[in-house]
Amino acid sequence: MSLWEYKVITSGKGGFATPALLEKFLNDLGREEWEIIHFRPQPDNALSFTGLARRSTQRDWTLQDAAAAAAKAEADKLRAEFEAKFKAATSTAPAAAEEKAPSYLAEQAGPDDGFRKPVDTSRDDDPDAPEDDEKDDWDKLDKEDELPTFFEALKPHMRRNQRGPGMSVGTDYLAKKWDLAEEDVKGALVECGLQIPGDENAKPVYVEYDGDLFWVNINRRGELWINTREKPRPVFRVVPATKVAAEEPAEKPAAPAAADQPVTAEAVAASPAQEQKPKGKAEQPPMLLPAGPDLLEKIRPHMRRNRRGPGGSGSTSFLARALRTTEANLMTAFAALGLTLPEKPADKPLFAVFGEELWWLNRDQRGGVWINGRDKQAGETVASATEAEPAPVATPVAETAAPPAEVKDEARDTKTANVFSAVRLLLKATKTGALAGETGRLAMELGQAEEAFITTFTGAGLKVPEKAREKPVFVEHAGEIFWFNRNAKGQLWLNAKASKFSEKSGGGEDETDQKPKRSRSRKKSE
């Protein structure tokens, strides 16, 4: 049957400063054969706890333990006798050795019966009782040399910084945990080299301790916070580079005075030798531009389908690169053919007839010049083509004779066809199966003002609704109907969809607005 002695263990009010001190305390308990039977940590601090420990004061006697204790005692006795004789033979004071030997032997000869000497606690409450000579490491913590440093005592109380990297803790929290006044904590900050800022906008002053950076900041509420993070490691070394002086370019020969003239064979032969190009690029002389309608045949393969109407188009910048010439030479050659730009971007283009084709120049929104061409329709003239082109201001080319009345009607039909055909490709599909486009976007893509765009389509028969739910006016073209509508935000949209009455002619308001009436069955009167 074992006899137990019990001991209350506690970390004190503030807890251990570091986890290492807590581990040392528990290891000392285990070394002294204390068994912890109750351990209760504080919920807000894992380093603070209270508990109860016990250990046996006498072991259970067995024959094996008694034999082992007797053998150990006999061995210790023989070892002590041999050591005493050896010291007596080699010592210069044999009398002193003989006096010390019996007491030493008497102390070591006692058998180890397994009984641990109990601790005398009778004078614990006596303030005048002398202190024991032997003290454990826990009692030495009261000495200043054994206390943790200020920076080490901070780390167990720090939490992750929510406004940046690292960890932080408030001085008011430390004062409560350490049972100190907040002024004492601030004084310790200053003594450790930390600088307290004057306001929240002050730049932090960093100090280094054990590979970590520490600094103090103050928030908008006037609270003082201590922050720490790991010192950044250098990843590169700054080395000054040597500046390389730029080489001066060689002087270029003076450009010829007549730069706007088209390139001809005589001009190429009379021009001075050009600068040598870098190796690997063969020098190519500029291509000679043909004169007359042959120029149009030359640029026709480089043109693409016109996105705003029938025919093809090509930009002068692209054509100049394809023909290995300059835009100035290309524009001069166009002028020789009678193709010129209108005075204002909003003006209608100036058409020129070459065989059965109409050609003209226009400028896009970014200032680029484009050449356009299409087949001339039956009976179409320069004047009728100019009238059919939608633009707010018209600058037609005058003709001596006016077209007949039947030609005017055909031109009006051609104008309507060109208007709807040009805008049909810009409409986008909707969820209802129709096509629609906002008039501001359509006008911008066509290079026109929105008012001019709307005027063009109202002239073709459409009506601009004043309200969102106003009944629209439909116009049929190429098996589809077109109409304007206004949404809840007040935006005007152009719509198109397949016509259900395409077999009917006209497609005006009187025909398309009519809906089939639903017959209702009536009960016969009895």
Mean pLDDT for the chain overall: 75
CB burial of 43-63 (b: ≥16 within 10 Å; e: otherwise) equals: eeeebbbebebbbeeeeeeee
What percentage of the chain has pLDDT greater than the value 70?
69
Q: 66 pLDDT exceeds 70?
A: yes
Tell me the CA distances in angstroms from 223 to 178, 186, 194, 226, one per residue in order.
Answer: 18, 12, 16, 10
Q: For the stretch 196-231, what's the b/e string if a residue is b when 16 or more beta carbons lie within 10 angstroms of its beta carbon?
A: eeeeeeeeeeebebeeebbbbbbeeeeebbbbbbee
Q: Which two tokens stand for residue 151?
A: 């920076």
d(CA 91, CA 474): 133
Structure confidence by residue, pLDDT tens digits, 267-318: 444 444 444 444 444 455 566 778 778 888 888 888 888 777 778 888 888 8
Written as one string, the DSSP assignment of 240-262 is PPPPPPPPPPPPPPPPPS-TTSP
pLDDT reported for residue 364: 82
Confidence check: pLDDT of 8 > 50: yes
* Residue 147 confidence (pLDDT): 83
Q: What is the pLDDT of residues 189-219, one digit of tens each?
A: 999 999 999 888 888 899 999 889 999 999 9
CA dist., res. 209 & res. 151, Å (int): 8
* Selection from 76-90, 170-184, 232-246 with the highest mean pLDDT: 170-184
Q: What is the pLDDT of residues 413-445, one digit of tens each?
A: 556 566 787 788 888 888 888 899 999 888 888
Backbone dihedral angles phi then psi of residue 466, each to the nearest 5 degrees: -90, -25
Confidence of residue 36 (pLDDT cuts 50, 70, 90): very high
Angle (nearest 5°) at CA 279 between 274 and 283? 40
Supply the pLDDT for residue 280. Answer: 45
Q: What is the 3-state secondary structure (H, E, C) of 105-156?
A: HHHHCCCCCCCCCCCCCCCCCCCCCCCCCCCCCCHHHHCHHHCCCHHHHHHH
Q: What was the pLDDT predicted at 504? A: 46
- 373-402 b/e with 16+ CB inside 10 Å = b? bbebbeebbbbbbbbbbbbeeeeebeeeee
Question: Whole-prediction pTM value?
Answer: 0.26
d(CA 150, CA 184): 12
CA distance 395 to 343: 9
The pLDDT, as a whole number, for residue 142 is 54
- Looking at the chain, the whole-number percentage of residues with pLDDT higher than 90 is 17
| Per-residue CA distances from 101 to 19, 71, 79, 141, 166 (Å) | 46, 22, 12, 38, 64
Residue 51 pLDDT > 90: yes
Q: How far is CA 477 from the centre of its chain?
A: 50
